[in-house]
Amino acid sequence: MKVILKQNVPSLGKTGDLIKVNDGYGRNYLIPKGLAIDANEKNIKTFEHEKKNILQKSEKEHKTAQDLAVKLANLTITMVRKVGDQGKIFGSVTTKDIESALKEKGYDINRKMIVHHHDEHIKSLGEFKVKIKLTADIEAEIKLIVTGE
């Protein structure tokens, strides 16, 4: 099936591209998620009309994400945790904890945007780099310091 992308989709294309995808991928993922619309005559004509507005909105979101990435690059978050033997902390620092700390500092970052370098949660004291995926192609990295109380 052919679809028109309403947003940039990594490994597929940019906003406004007319692409061919598997029927299931288009119907079950791209269209329900609002990432694309079916490329029929009516939608193609409508989309050509809306394309300018969508591209402007996309550029604005891209610029906003770039500005946020610059701010986050200089950000350090410190978390205090109870410490057991061998410097291990009780529990762990999760993406939800990081999300809460960012919200306290005034950043509206969803925890799904936070990417751990480690496959598991942070369970020890130290300094960590935490990657935040703002858009498909813009990432920021913040410094997380975990100290004992």
Residue span of the structural domain in which 9 resides: 2-64
Q: Looking at the whole model, is its pTM more than 0.85?
A: no
Q: Give the tens place of pLDDT for each residue, 10-19.
A: 788 888 888 9
Q: Are residues 59 and 89 in the same domain?
A: no
pLDDT attached to residue 122: 82
37-46, 92-101, 140-149: range with lowest mean pLDDT: 37-46
7-28 as b/e, with b when 16 or more CB fall inside 10 Å?
bbbeebbebbeebebeeeebee
Judge contact between 99 and 114, C-beta under 8 A: yes
CATH number for 106: 3.10.430.100
Q: What is the spatial distance between Cα 80 and Cα 4, in angstroms, rounded to a whole number?
A: 48
Quick one: how far is CA 53 from the chain centroid? 23
Q: Determine the pLDDT at residue 120.
A: 63
Pair 51, 112 in one domain = no
Q: Are 87 and 141 in a shared domain?
A: yes
pLDDT of residue 93: 87
